[in-house]
Amino acid sequence: MADKRKQKILIADDSEMNRSILADMLGDDYDIIEAENGKEAVALLQKQAAQIDLVLLDIVMPEMDGFGVLREMNDFRWIENTPVIMISAESAPARVQQAYELGITDFISRPFDAVVVHHRVVNTLLLYAKQKKLMNMVADQVLEKEKQSALMIDILSHIVEFRNGESGQHVLHIRTLTELMLKHINQMTDRYNFSKSDIALISTAAAIHDVGKIAIPGEILNKPGRLTNEEFAVMKTHSQVGASMLEALPVHKDEPLVRRAYEICRWHHERYDGRGYPDGLKGDEIPISAQVVALADVYDALTSERVYKKAIPHEKAVQMILNGECGQFNPLLMDCLRELEGNIQEAMASNEIRDWNDPNMLRNLTEELMQREELSASDRTLQLLEHERMKYQFFADMSQEVQFEYTVSPPAVMISEWGAKHLGLDEIIRDPHHDPAVLASMGADSMEKLAGLLARSTPEKPIVDFDSVIRIGGGERWMKIIARATWSKDEPPVYTGAIGKAIDIHETRVKMAALEEMAAHDTMTGLYNHKFAKMRIQDMMARKPESNFALGIFDVDHFKQANDTYGHMFGDQVLIHMAKTLKRNMREGTVSARVGGDEFLLFFEYREHVDLAINRIFNSLIGTYESFPISVSMGVAKTQMLGTDYDTLFHAADQALYAAKRGGRGQFRFYDGDSCETLSLISPIDGDTQEEADTDAEKRSGGEDAGCE
């Protein structure tokens, strides 16, 4: 190895003695890291698989045994680049066999022999170092080769173009249009299912569709005005000539690119109705690649200026093609062109310049290379990745946030070190949807909801957030989870996982709840205020429109007198006393509120005998406070009679209250519909200005409904 970095060896063995013996045997030539069980080993691999050059793995370990580690290494595909030597006294052939099947490179049995251990380690490392180096070389060469061959094609097609006197962009346009159409066809039908590499191959091959024109004499090729029949016959040979040139290639003629190019060269002047040339193929006898390029060629010929014609505007060109003025095309392709109509010009414009030094271009190519299974990432990429990971981990640790990464396949979630510790979970959790620790922490409902939100996101709107209660160390806390779904670059995109974080919002949330609670209550009595009571009542009625409800309003008789005689402080004490008495005597589910100076409201659902219920509450409110005799007047309205409009109910109860007062106070009345009084007795809080009714007689009303007089 050229670099001076010490090779890193991970020793996973539950016995500290055994790890130590191995470490000593390997000496100072290696950078040794240790894991005392399988889970630790996997966690270390998760963090730095790219840096670990070799794993020495024991079989029998707590938490997760050596076979478990091997399975993880297979699932995450670390085993492809990180060799494993199994170390164990386990020498049962079936177990050894199983270990080899899981991808181990070698097996060392106990007792360790220093020389054997050393040799096996060195050999394995050498073998893999060579392999890694080769892979890097292949990767770099493929990159170089692709770059060069695309360059060659560009040069070649440019020569053809140049000789044709065509606009400099013809080849590029055809390539772009072909690519655009192939992608769109994939969306229209399952019939062809062009893979990414098919599309790349066809659109690259499209660039040399007119290579045969090299053999056409310049005076014909560049003749302004119409060709004679003879000249046209010569011109028409270019498709066959191009195909023959490719067929005659001494090497490479079986390469997929050349085979596609052959189809395209030979048949890009065929037409769907069989009236094209050179072979008069009909319908689907014409390869789809040639059909697509033919249409792209016609479109670009129409919209470009040539020696014999002016450029035709985009709309008109499309219309001419759709009208069949340039020969018949596959109806599917016509539909495709029609559907793409709006996108074509834009795509053409954005692709005018194609430059191999364009970093995006190289990046795309690199991405494509990375996706190829047979190639693994080159060292440079690994270093970049490692750098990113380091950066990520640093910020994750600093932020004191729970950060996570989720992959759909294999289903796994990785939690940042700090986050895992905070939640009391493992850093890597396989199959989190069925993991008891995760389910206990987050709850199955929240898990499902989050998974659903992510799966229903789109590549355009990949970010979701929602609040969830998370169990942390025996307590529960509100956390906001913000996650970004990751979508593949396929057509159509596939949901592959998510990254995200959970932020503790418990304090904020609790504070908000407290503020809401405060805003809903009358500060003096602790009862609801009128506004909030109204909301609650409307809500209750909306939930159970078929039920019977009663709304009562009462005030304290001679409250003004109490205020005047004993002062406002005393008056307040009376109100607090009333609120307490009311709360004590209410059935569960009753809404009570202070709605005015000394006016209170109560609202409840009943089945029958509402009069008895009202009577009970009414009586419970009578008594004395600090030798001040207390009685109330009350008006009651029922939804049974008035329906569920709040304002109607309130107004009716108010009227019944007025009637009760007029009837001599110290009584309750039900609103019975004979409205004859519209004067409201309800005063604003702290106001105390209404006229007192004129009699002090303490009449008690019975259960019968009393109308207002």
Partner 1 sequence: MTLQECYAALEGDYEGVMGRLRTERLVQKFVLKFLDDGSYNLLTSSMESGDYDEAFRAAHTIKGVGQNLSFNKLYESSHLLTEALRSKDIEAAAPLYEQVKADYAQTVDAIHAYQASL
Cα–Cα distance for residue pair 54/118, rounded to 1 Å: 13
Distance CA 378, CA 259 (A): 31
Q: Applying CB under 8 A, does 122 fall inside the site for partner 1?
A: no
The residue range among 16-24, 213-221, 453-461, 639-647 that interacts with partner 1, by the rule CB under 8 A, is 16-24
Q: Is 452 in the site for partner 1 (CB under 8 A)?
A: no
Find where tokens 């490479």 sit. 252
Q: How far is it, in rounded angstroms, from Cα 476 to Cα 440?
A: 11
696 touches partner 1 by CB under 8 A: no
Residue from 184, 117, 574 nearest 344 by CA: 184
Distance CA 708, CA 660 (A): 8
Binding partner 1 (rule: CB under 8 A), the pick from 1, 24, 189, 363 is 24
Q: Is 237 helix (H, G, I), strand (E, B) or coil?
A: helix
Does 29 bind partner 1 (CB under 8 A)? Our answer is no
**What is the DSSP-derived secondary structure letter of residue 675?**
-
Position 25 contacts partner 1 (CB under 8 A): yes
Q: Is 295 helix (H, G, I), strand (E, B) or coil?
A: helix
- How far is it, in rounded angstroms, from Cα 22 to Cα 679? 98
Q: Are residues 37 and 61 in contact, defined by beta-carbon separation less than 8 angstroms?
A: yes
Binding-site member from 5, 6, 77, 110 for partner 1 (CB under 8 A): 110
Measured distance between the N- and C-terminal CA atoms of the chain, rounded to whole angstroms = 108
Supply 110's token pair. 């106990």
Q: Name the residue nearer to partner 1 (CB basis): 106 or 654.
A: 106
Q: Which of 29, 75, 101, 113 binds partner 1 (CB under 8 A)?
A: 113
> If binding is defined by CB under 8 A, does position 111 make contact with partner 1?
yes
Nearest Cα to 175, choosing from 328, 430, 348?
A: 348
As a dihedral over the C-alpha atoms of residue 652, residue 656, residue 658, residue 659, rounded to 10 degrees, the angle is: 140
Q: Is 615 in the site for partner 1 (CB under 8 A)?
A: no
Q: 502 is written with which tokens?
A: 């959970």
Contact stretch for partner 1 (CB under 8 A) within 13-21, 248-256, 382-390, 447-455 = 13-21
Closer to partner 1 by Cβ: residue 16 or 507: 16
Among 5, 6, 60, 387, binds partner 1 (CB under 8 A): 60
CB of 360 to partner 1, least distance (A): 54
Euclidean distance between CA atoms 246 and 253, whole angstroms: 7
Residues contacting 165, CB < 8 A, separation 6+:
221, 222, 306, 307
**Least separation, in Å, of the C-beta of 95 and partner 1?**
12
Tell me whether residue 40 or residue 654 sits nearer to partner 1 (CB atom): 40
CA 258, chain centre distance (Å): 42
Note whether 12 binds partner 1 by CB under 8 A.
Answer: no
Q: What are phi and psi of 479, to 5 degrees?
A: -130, 145
Taking contact as CB under 8 A, which single stretch among the options 60-68, 227-235, 463-471, 684-692 is the one that binds partner 1? 60-68
Nearest approach, Cβ of residue 67 and partner 1 (Å): 15
The torsion defined by the Cα of 576, 581, 583 and 587, in degrees rounded to 10, comes to -160
Kindly state the smallest distance separating residue 110's Cβ from partner 1, in Å. 5
The least distance separating partner 1 from the CB of residue 12, rounded to whole angstroms, comes to 14
Quickly tell me which residue has 């450029």 as its tokens: 311
Note whether 114 binds partner 1 by CB under 8 A. Answer: yes
By the rule CB under 8 A, 21 interacts with partner 1: yes
Question: Does 473 contact partner 1 by CB under 8 A?
Answer: no
Contact residue for partner 1 among 2, 17, 94, 398 (CB under 8 A): 17
* Binds partner 1 by CB under 8 A, chosen from 6, 29, 75, 89: 89
CA distance 32 to 54: 10
Q: Does 569 bind partner 1 (CB under 8 A)?
A: no
* Continuous segment of H or E residues that includes residue 125: helix 114-164
Q: What's the min distance (Å) between Cβ of 116 and partner 1?
A: 8
Q: Tell whether residue 61 is a contact of partner 1 (CB under 8 A).
A: yes
Q: Which is nearer to partner 1, 108 or 221 (CB)?
A: 108
Comparing CA positions, the residue from 632, 660, 628, 631 lying closest to residue 563 is 628
Interface with partner 1: number of residues (CB under 8 A):
20
Position among 4, 93, 94, 115 found at the interface with partner 1 (CB under 8 A) = 115
Q: Please report whether residue 62 would count as binding partner 1 according to CB under 8 A.
A: yes
Nearest to 618 by CA among 702, 521, 534: 702
Interface with partner 1 (CB under 8 A), residue from 8, 20, 381, 625: 20
Q: Between 57 and 630, name the residue whose CB sits nearer to partner 1.
A: 57
351 binds partner 1 (CB under 8 A): no
Binding residues for partner 1 (CB under 8 A): 14-18, 20-21, 24-25, 60-62, 88-89, 110-115
